[in-house]
Amino acid sequence: MSITTAEPRHRDHAAQRGQGGTTLTGTATMIRFILRRDRVRLPIWIGAIVLGVVGSLPAFPETYPTAADRQARANLLDNPATIALTGPAYGRDDYTFGAMTANELLGFVAIAMALMSILLMVRHTRAEEETGRTELLRAGVLGRQATTTAAFVVVGAANVLIGLLLAVLMPATLSELPASSSLLFAAAVASVGLVFTGIGALTAQVTEHARAATGLGAAALGVAFALRAIGDVGNDWLSWLSPIGWAQRTQVYVDDRWWPLLLSLGLTVLLVALAFATTSRRDVGAGLVQPSPGSPRAGALLSSPLGLAIRLQRGGLIGWAVGLLVFGLAYGGLASSIEEFVSDNSTIQDFLADSDSLVDGFMAIVVLMMALLAAAYGLTSVLRLRSEETAGRAEPVLATAVSRTRFAAGHLIVAMGGSLVLLLAGGLGLGITAAIALDDGSIVGRLFGAALAHAVGVWLVIAVVVALFGWAPQLVHLGWVVLTYGVVVGLLGGFFQFPDWVTKISPFDAASSLPGGDLSTVAVVIMGVLAVAFVWIGLLGFRRRDLTTT
């Protein structure tokens, strides 16, 4: 139940009159509370990002010791697919370790910072309101802006701390990286994090539900990435509409331009100002966009756990499916230019040598990217099980004749079935535009099949989360580690030259060479067996353990 606008203002005024309070009263206490709650989560985020960057740096001089080796690597970046994935690749004519660091790490680090900021900001604002904790705290002397301010201070400080650690550790780890340029690199990625901290603060005001607020923030990140990718490949002005593009336009380690970061700073101030303004104009627990009242009678779809899961997740599934379809349509249109683009570039030809053709090699990378995105959807979907449990919504359902197995199976079917739908949508879009570009209708079926072949690998990632949910629900978010491993090995393995065994254990390796290569049938069977086993183990654990709301 939400509180009317008059009541919070009355309490605020009373606090101001009687105890010298303001709208920021209690901010320091809330900061300590957030730090206490995230005493494990924050160090993991900070450590993972910093160690991920610093740990990657020693591999550069070991793998590419000479200027010729570095230049050969620079040539790999000179193609539309890689530019869309990593960025504009400045400094390719004289490819130093600094240029290599900026081109191949900055974009990915910026995305990680953005995700961290969105998730943490929504967690400590909208999620607190959704569970009712903010309303209880506001019953005491707590200023109306205290919660948002405290969350912004903590998340913003985390971004700044990551930046400071990177600025110090990067030149210390790789002496070829100038300290001044490393400071700019750190400021660039921190600026992206601050922008999306502001976006998280604003989306938390829009909707009543934390998941929807997170989805809006993730959608904003997707738009920022798409604008940057499309702009870097073709229309450069589009990149100037993206915070990620601003960070990369610093041309760090090449030209070291600081002024694009002023755009990020200005947008952050604007977003935070809007978030504070809307906080003062809505009820506690309510959002700017009011949900529709819905039908007074439940439809037949809601009579089963599966129907309920579909109803709860249909919006997200539709959004992801449209996104993957557009993704496929966009990349399929590049098929006709691949052979012409790399015809005089022996380095790229060697990189794609395992495929029957250069087009097949390019398409294999695109299909792998779609599989990784489908796995990301699967993770967010199956994690709904945990959020339903911690929010207390699972208990009333399970108090009826619905068994725990049926309840969990409903969300599991949506996660696995939805990820399959995404693969098929992406494969279809990719095949249609590729067939038009190449004037070859047969490629539709091959790309459709290549996307479908990744389904078992995606399901294995989902099954790992189900096993964790059953026996160690506090650790369910470790599923993202499995996906991150697949991203690093699948998309960057060729650059880092990992040993074969490192790539073979990735859930996405078995079909990674399709459509031009061969499908590893044995690996698919093994993954299928493991997926079934993990699901069975997870459901067994869920049946035996107590429900929790923590």
What 8-state DSSP symbol labels residue 87?
Answer: -
At 354 the pLDDT is: 59
At 18 the pLDDT is: 36
At 19 the pLDDT is: 47
At 263 the pLDDT is: 95
Residues with Cβ within 8 Å of 310's Cβ and at least 6 positions away in sequence, in order, are: 301, 410, 414
Instruction: Please provide the DSSP assignment of 32-56 as one string.
Output: HHHHHHTTTHHHHHHHHHHHHHHHH
Query: Which regions in the chain score pLDDT beneath 50?
Result: 1-20
At 83 the pLDDT is: 78
157-187 burial, b at 16+ Cβ within 10 Å, e below that, comes to ebbeebbebbbbbbbebbeebbeebbbbbbb
Q: What Cα–Cα distance (Å) separates residue 486 from each residue in 49, 458, 492, 503, 543?
A: 17, 10, 10, 8, 30
Residue range 48-78, pLDDT digits in tens: 899 889 888 887 888 788 888 788 778 767 7
Residue range 155-209, pLDDT digits in tens: 999 999 999 999 999 999 998 999 999 999 999 999 999 999 999 999 988 888 7
The answer to whether 74 and 94 have CB atoms below 8 angstroms apart is no
At 405 the pLDDT is: 93
What 8-state DSSP symbol labels residue 547?
Answer: P
- Report d(CA 29, CA 134) in Å as an integer: 13
Distance of CA 507 to the CA centre of its chain: 18
Q: Whole-model pTM?
A: 0.72
Count of alpha carbons within 13 angstroms of residue 301, beta-carbon side: 9
Query: Could you tell me the residue ranges of all domains in the chain?
Result: 1-6+23-286, 304-550
- Report d(CA 478, CA 401) in Å as an integer: 32
